[in-house]
Structure 1
């Protein structure tokens, strides 16, 4: 998509034309469940009847929400006593709850439900959003702000480098010492964070320290986004993608390679703002990503698309061919598979718009 055509239309319908700025105040204000999960509640979670671990996790978190909100126990000591009983019943003494399981089993829905049904003050964000907050505010001010919360929810908990390991270990230690309750989701057990990505043995003490702060709850099951067995939708034609994007100023279209390059020029904390006001996104010439850094950035971008339920209309290759076999065979495999699952959902929504 050339810039002349975009300019002639009189409006910026290309994400590559945007370079949003994100203030620290906005980062703090957005520490709430994303729009897709704004109405998530335990009552709206639909567990797979064949997987009892799903309903068990829902019931445990519902109990924690009551405990952390007071639950009639009266005072902090009452809350902590009930929390200790809950932890023992769950098979561990961790302060917080750590939901472990494959992608698409409803972990984010459950975490958002916990946030909605626990009395505040409280914050909710992805792991990336918290590290972005530290970058914007500094470590001390971030700890000071989060330490005032009753509950801190961390979605998509992951450690991509040794620096993050030490940073998050220290952050969670400070919050736990301040009496903040912690809840997290991940595709990796806390004791295995970092495996396959850096010399985990060099940071074993920090990783074990993280694990000790959580009661790990395993959730089994299939990807609910693909329970019907459907595969990725067939790619659309360039003409179909452009034709739909031409229908309104809130419909954006970008050449895939150009967008991937543009993402490399923006801090991931800006990816959400990049999608402000975007009704649908067209991607022309989608092809497998070979570079790992580009792939990891695109994973974060897909998460922001999914958070905002932005349909994707794509030409090129299907969503399940986005990452090369080499990348899928590496240490970030689970991240890539989660992104593929989410992108399949979004491209199904996009294909339906032009069906």
Structure 2
């Protein structure tokens, strides 16, 4: 019998030191490298991106040239402080970003966009700049601008870190100059968006979602009786079992910066009565949980609707559609794992 716990009964407390200490690749990407990335031969941009990142990695720990070295013989530095991986979900951008992190030997940081904005909220903007200015590399996964405040905040942060000599690397589904499109009045913030874009050279990565290459379709929907059988047969350790609607409500009381800790020690999750989320704020919060589950490679067992119906049609075609498609892709992959470990 599994050890049953409930995410709805967890309210993790995270100190500032713990927050800073958590900026490294998740276990899913804990040992990846450029050599373990498998470019699709049908997508030349993938192999090109590996070459570009290898070259960029060579500049991260290299001191800026000065004096005569600056005039003669110094390696030509990248034209901008950062490299920006642009491409659809599931083409291996996070794998490559983590590979860059592992290839760099200096002081470095790796986190998602929302984790950096949460860091600013915990430390204040100035203290965040002071803390990260000592780093040689700052990696930002899943770069997206969800509101005007984030636009101004991140444009200032990236500019100040670049001015301090910090190398920057980011991944996103959106080109730097198009960040914010469809989410808010982005035209009113073009200056800030352009400041962001000016920090990066762009490497485009084309391809289809690797999680769907040759893999079966999402598991069929289960009723609660079938889910109970799967829970009872699970022998993988700690299983977090929750009613879906109660879990969604509980997430509103846990800051997204603590979702990693919310999942500490959990080997799998089971959700009763998954249903379509109809509120945008709730859906965006759930996307963060989906990302943290995927980071930790946590299998999902669930009754109710399938994850391709988790968000409304309006959401799947709106300004945040790329976030929702990524979440559906990741949740579906974890549901496949859940059907295997409990099958």
Does the alignment reach a TM-score above 0.5?
yes
Distance, in Å, in 2 between the alignment partners of 1:27 and 1:209 is 27
Distance, in Å, in 2 between the alignment partners of 1:66 and 1:174 is 22
Distance, in Å, in 1 between the alignment partners of 2:339 and 2:215 is 17
Describe the shift of the 1:177–1:348 C-alpha distance in structure 2 as closer, same or farther (beyond 3 A).
same
Deviations 1:80-132 (A, max 9, x none): 95353xx4xxxxx3321000000000000000000000121111000011111
Tell whether the 8 Å contact from 1:24 to 1:136 is kept in structure 2 after alignment: yes
Residue 318 of structure 2 aligns to a residue whose secondary structure is: coil
Matched residue, 2:100: 114
Q: Give runs of aligned pairs for residues 17-56 of structure 1, distance below 5 A.
A: 17-56=9-48
> In structure 1, which of residues 67, 81, 88 is the aligned counterpart of residue 59 of structure 2?
67
Moved over 6 A (4+): none
**CA apart distance, 1:66:** 1.7
Matched residue, 2:124: 138
Asked if residue 292 in structure 1 is aligned to residue 280 in structure 2, the reply is yes
> In structure 2, which of residues 299, 306, 310 is the aligned counterpart of residue 322 of structure 1?
310
Distance, in Å, in 1 between the alignment partners of 2:76 and 2:313 is 44
Deviations 1:63-83 (A, max 9, x none): 11122233xxxx421899535
Distance, in Å, in 1 between the alignment partners of 2:39 and 2:230 is 36
> In structure 2, which of residues 287, 297, 309 is the aligned counterpart of residue 309 of structure 1?
297
> In structure 1, which of residues 170, 179, 193 is the aligned counterpart of residue 165 of structure 2?
179
Q: Give runs of aligned pairs for residues 273-292 of structure 1, distance below 5 A.
A: 273-292=261-280
Deviations 1:306-338 (A, max 9, x none): 000000001111111111101111100000000
> In structure 1, which of residues 196, 200, 211 is the aligned counterpart of residue 182 of structure 2?
196
Number of corresponding residues:
336
Distance, in Å, in 2 between the alignment partners of 1:94 and 1:121 is 20
Distance, in Å, in 2 between the alignment partners of 1:204 and 1:230 is 43
Matched residue, 1:6: none
Matched residue, 1:95: 81
Tell whether the 8 Å contact from 1:42 to 1:110 is kept in structure 2 after alignment: yes
Residue 65 of structure 2 aligns to a residue whose secondary structure is: helix
> In structure 2, which of residues 7, 28, 36 is the aligned counterpart of residue 15 of structure 1?
7
Q: TM-score under structure 2 normalisation?
A: 0.94
**CA apart distance, 1:229:** 5.5
Distance, in Å, in 1 between the alignment partners of 2:253 and 2:186 is 29
Deviations 1:34-62 (A, max 9, x none): 11000110000011110000010011101
Asked if residue 82 in structure 1 is aligned to residue 68 in structure 2, the reply is no
Residue 236 of structure 1 aligns to a residue whose secondary structure is: coil
Distance, in Å, in 1 between the alignment partners of 2:83 and 2:38 is 20
Q: TM-score under structure 1 normalisation?
A: 0.91
